[in-house]
Structure formats: C-alpha cells, structure tokens
Amino acid sequence: MALSPSQKPPPPPPTLPGFEHVRRSWNETYQSYAARILPGEYYVTRHDEGVYTTLGSCISACIRDTVLGIGGMNHFMLPATESSEADAWKASSQNSATRYGNYAMEHLINEIMRNGGKRENLEVKVFGGGRILQNMTDVGQRNIEFVRDYLKTEGLRVASEDVGEIYPRMVVYFPTTGRVRVKRLRSLHNNTIVTQETSYINALKTKPITGDVELF
Amino acid sequence: MANSASDLVKDISGLVTLPDVYLRINQLIENPSSSTEDIAKVVSRDPSFTVRLLRVANSALYGRSSTIDTVPRAVTMIGTQQIRSLALSMSVANSFAGLPNELVSMENFWRHSLLCALASRHLAEEARRCDPEALFTAGLLHDIGELVIFNRMPEQAKEALLIVLDSQDEVPVYEAERQAMGFDHSEVGGELARLWKLPPLLEDCIAHHHDIANAKRFPRETALVHIANIIALMAELDTLNPEDVSPIDPRAWEVTGLTEESVEPAVRQAQEEIIEAEKLFLNEQ
C-alpha cells in the first residue's frame, strides 16, 4: 500500500448487516476495497468493492443480480463422506456433506434476494476445486460437480468458470460489474492453503448444522 | 528481531553440509597443480556420482552428438569448472535433507529451483560471455535461504506467506519476509553461500536476485538469475502474461543485453526440460 501522505484511501463503504466483522483492505491496483473471506464464510455487498478469497480444493460461487449490482461470494467444501464411493455424495439429499454445500449456496443466494435481488437476474461464476494435494480422492472435483448440479437444479446458468487443475487460485470478484480476476498461485502457497482448508473441514465435523449459521 | 540472517545460518551449519564429491573437486580445482586426470580420479572414486554424471552428460539436456562413456572423457569434454558446478548441482538437494520444514514440500521447492536453473542456463547461453553451467547452479541455489528460514523460523515464515495471501498476492514474498522478520531469504542464502565459501558468482546471484542493483561483483549473472526466477514462475503457472507474476526489474534487461523477447522461448524451453531435469538432478530425493 504505497500511498503518499496526502493520498489516504477513502473510508470503506458500509457493509450489509451481519458482515461488519469481515476484514477489508484497500487495494491500490483496483482502487477499491476488497473484503477477504476464508473457508466457510461468505460476503455480500451492494457497493463498489471487491470480495476475494484463496481457493485450493474449495469451491467458490460468485453470484450477483446484474440489474442491481448486488452480489457476493461464498467459499466452501463438501466434507468427506463415510463411503469411498465416488457417487455416494449424490445419493441422497439427506447426506450431510451436501447439506453443507446446500447451506453455503442458499445463504449466499438468499442474502442477495433479501436485498432486492431477483432470481431471473442472477449471474453466476464458479471457481476453484483444484487438486493441490497428491492424495487419492479428488475432493476438488466433487466440489465442482456439486455446484454444477446445484445450479442446474435451481435453474441458474453458469456464466463462466475456472475450475480444477493443479493450481491454487486467488479470486477477486466485483459484484457491481461482475468482473473477476483469477490468479494462479505458485506451489509455495500450497501447504498454507491446505492447512486453512483442513482447519475448516475439521471445524465442520464438530459443528452441527442447525438454524441460521454464518459459518458452516 | 532476535535473529539475524547470519545467526540463522550459524544455527544450521551442522545440519547442512556440502556434498563430499563437490568439496574434493573444488579443492583440486583451487590447486593450480592439479590435472584433469586428478579430477577424473576423484570423480571415479564415487561410483554413484559417476553413474549420475555420465547420465547427465549424455542426456538430451546437454545435446551431445557423441557419447561420453568414461569419466576422463566427461571431464575433458565438459570442462573442469563445469564438472565442479555439476557436482554441486547434482548433490545439493541431498544436503538439505537434514533441514525439513512443513511450509513447502521439497518436491515443490526443488521444482521451482530447477525451473530457475534451466532458465538461467538458457538465458546465459543467449546472453553470452558467461558460464551457462555456473548459471544453472546459481539458479538452482537461488532460494536455499527459504529452506533455512522455513526450518528455523517457521512461525514468522508462515506469517510472511499469510501477508502475501492477504495482499491478494501483491506483496512479494521477500518483502513480506522483511516485514515479518527483518530480513529475507536472499540475504540468508547469501550468508549460507559465504559460510560454505561458494564461488563469489554464486554468492552474488543468491544474495541479490531480488535487489540486482546491489550485485557489485557479478551484476550481469545476478540479473540473469533475477529474470530466470520470474520465467520459472511463468513456466510453473503456465502463463506468458507478465501480470500473473512479479515484475522483472527493467534494469535487468539493460545489464544483460537481453529483451522481453527472450521470455517466451525461455518459458517454453524450461517447461520442456523440467521432467528430464527432475529425473537427472533429483532422483536421489
């Protein structure tokens, strides 16, 4: 942040209720604020600011109402299921893994609607689901398929996506314009990102899904 | 800050040692009365190194038209200085086996280092009037300071990486390290090069690959490694867009006599050579 003393950034725009504690910082390149979300979080804004996150195997849906310019981003992952069957997670809606996914998507979409968004005006972009660990199961792929399935069921079209492959991604999304900057990150960051995602997954195991929770 | 870069290096001096074969070859080369036969004898006494050296000498990476099947022939055809560089390059990854860390996998670390080595060598051949083999070694070693930091100061190293991620990947790693611990990996690498009494060319390239204006003894070679580092990132991320990686210091082009036109072919060549290079240089990992 190399601003000369006379050039202080403007104050950040107001947040929607419930998002006051999300960390926001001024970004010189974009000349706007950017709100950072971590695994399990989501953020919606009606102002000209960005939302960003770092994705390893996790998936992120960036959704906005194209007419009002209100929108945001979520960041989640389906936890591992008991069975090792690739299609087990599709089996039933009772499955606890998909419930987390459903909550992540519903919370984001409902927040947009609550602020005046309309389903027919929603534009969706999907990112993440990479394969950055050399383990057996491709959890990233599961996350990608979940989101595609969910959107199809909801009748929402995917306007663009950048998913899969072996790179972690930095994603910065601007709901007012729909513009996205996706940057592949070097492998130096893999372990840090995996650690963040693992903490999140472990937290999910201990957290029951009840009611209206902001962190899933 | 409790530690300085030189304190850190003193801490690990017992944990990482230079490969024996390099030390012996180096001793011979420093002695003006040694012959190529002496050097060939030293190499031959290490059978596993001999096998690996001949494999490297005959690989596609070195593009030779005739087969090199004996050590004396290798020493004559490759050159004694280059044999010394190769001895270091081929064994240094093993030297760091005693310095594990949880922040980066050795596979990912050495892959980036190898990509930089390959790009450095390629650029050296293009720039001319410098030793491509020495540049390969410089590129391979440029980030060894990271391994020291990740092992000795894991909390601050992690903090540095988080600073990078929290800045939307706009703060470079070395700057985040300076914020988190007061020095960066190139300074630490430079201290290690001094401790190991590595040739000054290697020391300069390692210590100043992020601040090339301060490479007083080997500015051209250091600038080549600086450019090669960025090329290595482009090769890793499979991109030719300069905005996807850190910017190249414009002075590097002036000092080396190369231009941005060198970037794309260097990226492609590094991508083509990396698989073979990993087999040849890291197969003991």
ipTM of the complex: 0.92
Cα angle B104, B199, B216; round to 5: 90
How many angstroms separate the CA atoms of A188 and A128, rounded? 17
Residues from chain B that touch A187, judged by Cβ atoms under 8 A, are 104-105, 108, 111-112, 236
Of B113, B115, B116, B135, which Cα lies nearest the Cα of B124? B135
Chain B residues with CB under 8 Å of A28 CB are: 170
B33: exposed, middle or buried (C-beta count within 10 Å: 0-12, 13-18, 19+)? exposed
Q: What are phi and psi of A172, to 5 degrees?
A: -120, 125
The residues near B223 (Cβ < 8 Å, ≥ 6 apart) are B212, B215, B249, B251, B252, B255, B256
d(CA B131, CA B80) in angstroms, rounded, equals: 12
> How do the residues of chain A divide into helix, strand and coil, expressed in percent and rounded to 5?
30, 25, 45
pLDDT, tens digit, 9 for 90 and up, residues B25-78? 999 999 999 999 999 999 999 998 999 999 999 998 887 767 899 999 999 988
Q: Which chain A residues in 127-146 lie under 8 Å from chain B, judged by CB atoms?
A: none
| CB A105, CB A147: distance < 8 Å | yes
Report CA B260 to chain centroid distance, whole Å: 22
Alpha helices per DSSP H over chain A: 88-91, 96-114, 139-154, 190-206
CB nearest A186 (choices: B103, B168, B237): B237
Q: pTM for this structure? A: 0.92
Distance of CA B50 to the CA centre of its chain: 22
The amino acid that residue B124 corresponds to is A
Neighbours of A206 (CB within 10 A): 6
Of residues A167, A170, A189, nearest to B168 (C-beta):
A170
Query: Chain A contact for B143, CB < 8 A?
Result: no
Inter-chain residue contact B244 with A183, CB threshold 8 Å? yes
Q: Chain B: nearest CA to A200, how far in angstroms?
A: 16
pLDDT in tens, B228-255: 999 999 999 999 999 999 999 999 999 9
Q: Between helices B80-95 and B71-78, what is the axis angle to 10°? A: 110
DSSP 8-state symbol, B249: P
Instruction: Report, as ranges of residue numbers, the positions in chain A whose pLDDT lies below 70.
Output: 1-6, 81-95, 136, 207-216
Q: What letter would DSSP give residue A46?
A: S
- Give residue B83's pLDDT: 93
B154 touches chain A (CB under 8 A): no
Question: Residue A188: its chain B contacts at CB < 8 A?
Answer: 104, 108-109, 112, 161, 173
C-beta separation of B214 from B152 below 8 A: no
Q: Which of A17, A95, A12 is nearest to A47 (CA)?
A: A12
Q: Is the dihedral of CA B17, B19, B22, B23 positive or negative?
A: positive
Q: Between chains, do A188 and B165 touch, taking CB under 8 Å as contact?
A: no
Instruction: Report whether B224 contacts B136 (CB < 8 A).
Output: no
Tens of each residue's pLDDT in chain B, 285 residues: 457 999 999 999 889 999 899 999 999 999 999 999 999 999 999 998 999 999 999 998 887 767 899 999 999 988 999 999 999 999 999 999 889 999 999 999 999 999 999 999 999 999 999 999 999 999 999 999 999 999 999 999 999 999 999 999 999 999 999 999 999 999 999 999 999 999 999 999 999 999 999 999 999 999 999 999 999 999 999 999 999 999 999 999 999 999 999 999 999 999 999 999 999 998 654
Map tokens 């929290």 to a residue: B166
Q: What tokens appear for B193 in the block?
A: 């090069």
Give me the half-sphere count of Cα atoms (radius 13 Å) on the Cβ side of residue B44: 13
CB-defined contacts A:B, below 8 A:
57
CB A190 to CB B108 under 8 A?
A: yes
User: Pick from B143, B136, B179, B134: which is nearest to B159 by CA?
Assistant: B179
List, in sequence order, every residue forming a beta bridge with A160; answer none if it has no partner: A125
Distances in whole angstroms, Cα of residue B212 to Cα of each of B126, B175, B194, B252? 19, 15, 18, 7
Give the dihedral of Cα atoms A94, A98, A101, A105; nearest 10 deg. -60
Query: Given CB atoms, is A27 within the 8 Å cutoff of chain B?
Result: yes
From CA A192, how far away is CA A108, in angstroms rounded?
26
**A-contacting residues of B 90-109, CB under 8 Å?**
102-105, 108-109
Residue A138 has a pLDDT of 87
Q: Report CB contact under 8 Å: B164, A189.
A: yes
Phi, psi of A56 (to 5 degrees): -100, -100
- How many residues are present in chain B? 285
